[in-house]
A and B are shown apart, each in its own frame.
Chain A
Amino acid sequence: MTDGLGQEELELLHAAQNGDAEAFGRLYELYAGRVFRYLYAHLDNRLDAEDITEEVFLRTWQALPGYRQRGAPLQAFVFRVAHNALMDHYRKTRRHKPAVSLEDERFQTQLPDQAQGLEDLENRRHLRRLLGKLRRDYRMVIDLRFMAGLSLEESAQVMNRSPGALRVLQHRAVLALRKLVEQDRLEE
């Protein structure tokens, strides 16, 4: 195993670096779901999250030649690109009026189970509101660990910290979120 990659991922990476778009597409399938969840935990518009997910992988494709030199494991590299793309999106939408997020409501009402869909919508908004109150690094570790589903080691690689340091951060982040949840309940 090299850089934490499985054998299949390593072969796909080498093929992609040699110009094999289909191999890159397979890597996309392996990581896209996690990247989407990470982004959607920040954005209240599903289509924005989808657009940025695709943008992340386009940027990754274009940056593939430089990947080895930087030494970050591939998934960590992809998540750093995702984080940068998210920051770019925030900068762009701060300059312009953000589109009203009716898309999520419309999308949910088209699902077979409308009631569940609307409940999910409310849960997302509630969680984003709480997470938005956290310190940036607490938010990031929670997004990576619980939303994207990365392991502690993978999250540490994304955030460029040691696993020990990330354990500390995770502990504090979870307790900080707990406090927010309790405050939120008292306010209701």
Chain B
Amino acid sequence: MGMKTAEEKILQTCLENLAEGSSSLDEPLARYPEQAEWLRPALESAAWLQDQRPVFEARPGFVAASRRRLVERIQAQPSGLRPWQAPFAWRAPWLVETRRRLGYALLLLVLVFQIGLNGVTIAHAAPTWLPGDAPYPAKTVYENASLALTLNQMDQAGLHALYARRRLLEIQALIFEERYEPIPAAVDNLQYHTRQATALIELLASSDPHSASLLAADLRQTLTAQARLIDLLARFAPDDTRLQCQRVRHIADQALAQIDAIGALDTP
């Protein structure tokens, strides 16, 4: 066995013992006295690294909360089937997307028919519904249907920006009403629409920089004003909600950074 190979194996053995907490530094150094000269600094570095691990731990409750969000996001996927379960999906991915759009078109037709029968318009009633209200799912279904039927990039970006604004207003209303449980899901949805809006604006910037700038300016105004209000409201909210408000701030800051970069494109 070469010298180097032996050193590497000795180090690995000592690291495994260190990781198990079964030895201090003195024990391996006493076991391998001839290697002490190089082994000591290596083990000291390894022990130091191991000691740093706790400062990189996730904050308490993060894994449980984010697990809930992840499962909700997966279960809320528009199609009951996962993309790879749709027939012929492996052959024609576009077919899955077309079926999704047709599904939303049909749903929208049903909703419009129902609206006509009831004499109430979703456009009028929807803004007042908050997450947790019984009719609220109809609002998000309507939003998703509108997006699915909008093929123009600029209009899609506008819709995503509008729905991001709605989520911000809903979060503010929920804090006012001390209804904290639906807030994490609302923040998730805000993040989704904000990311989609900025991504689409960025795409639009290369083909239509003027429209992109206008959309960017509108989104900037929304995020700046509404996120600031949420910062203020956060002071009166419990700890968990305050963390959600920090997420809102983070989402807004990220989007604003991207918008600033996009805004520069239209400068003469």
| A residues apposed to B, CB below 8 Å | 19, 21-22, 24-25, 28-29, 32-33, 36-37, 40-41, 45-48, 50-51, 53-54, 57-58, 61-62, 65, 95-100, 103, 106-107, 110, 120, 123-124, 127, 142, 145-147, 149, 152, 167-168, 170-171, 174-175, 177-178, 181
Assess whether A19 is in contact with B250, with CB atoms less than 8 Å apart: no
Main secondary structure of the interface of A (DSSP, over half): helix
A174 touches B58 (CB 8 A): no
Please encode chain B, from 250 to 268, with 1 for each CB lying within 8 Å of some chain A CB and 0 for all others.
1001100110110000000
B50 adjacent to A167 (CB under 8 Å):
no
Q: Which residues from B are CB-within-8-Å of A175? A: 38, 41-42, 45
Residue B70 contacts which of A57, A100, A142, A147 (CB distance < 8 angstroms)? Answer: A57
Assess whether B94 is interfacial by the CB under 8 Å rule. Answer: no
How far is B49's CA from A147's CA once the two chains are assembled, in angstroms?
8
Besides A171-B8, A171-B11, 18 other A-B contacts (C-beta < 8 A): A28-B70, A36-B56, A47-B246, A51-B191, A53-B66, A54-B69, A65-B84, A146-B49, A147-B49, A147-B53, A152-B16, A170-B12, A174-B11, A174-B49, A175-B41, A177-B49, A178-B42, A178-B44
B257 touches A167 (CB 8 A): no
A-B contacts, 24 listed (Cβ < 8 Å): A21-B75, A29-B64, A36-B58, A36-B62, A40-B58, A41-B56, A47-B247, A53-B58, A54-B66, A58-B73, A65-B84, A99-B250, A99-B253, A123-B55, A124-B55, A127-B49, A127-B52, A146-B46, A146-B50, A146-B53, A167-B12, A168-B4, A171-B11, A178-B44
Nearest to A119 among chain B residues (CB) is B55
- Residues of B close to A174: CB separation below 8 A: 11, 42, 45-46, 49
Identify the closest chain B residue to A169 (Cβ). Answer: B8
Residues of A within 8 A of B45 (CB): 174-175, 177-178, 181
In whole angstroms, what is the CA distance A32 to B59 when docked? 12
User: Which 5 A/B pairs are nearest by Cβ-Cβ distance?
Assistant: A146-B49, A120-B55, A47-B250, A178-B45, A21-B74
Separation of A51 and B250 alpha carbons in the complex (Å): 10
A32, A37, A170: the one contacting B53 at CB < 8 Å is A37
Q: A106 to chain B: which residues have CB within 8 Å?
A: 246
Determine whether the beta carbon of B257 is less than 8 Å from that of A99: yes
Pairwise interchain contact A142-B49, C-beta atoms closer than 8 A: yes
Contacts of B50 in A (CB 8 A): 146
Residue numbers of B with Cβ under 8 A of A are 4, 7-9, 11-12, 15-16, 19, 38, 41-42, 44-46, 48-50, 52-53, 55-59, 62-64, 66-71, 73-75, 82-85, 191, 242, 246-247, 249-250, 253-254, 257-258, 260-261
B67's partner among A25, A37, A124, A171 (CB-CB below 8 A) is A25
Distance between Cα atoms of A170 and B70 in the complex (Å): 34
Bound complex: CA of A113 vs CA of B69, how far in Å?
Answer: 29
> Once the chains bind, are B246 and A171 in contact (CB under 8 Å)?
no
B264 to chain A, nearest CB (A): 10
Q: How far is the CA of A28 from the CA of B75 in the complex (A)?
A: 15
Residue of A nearest to B65 (CB): A50
Decide: A28 and B57 in contact? CB cutoff 8 A: no
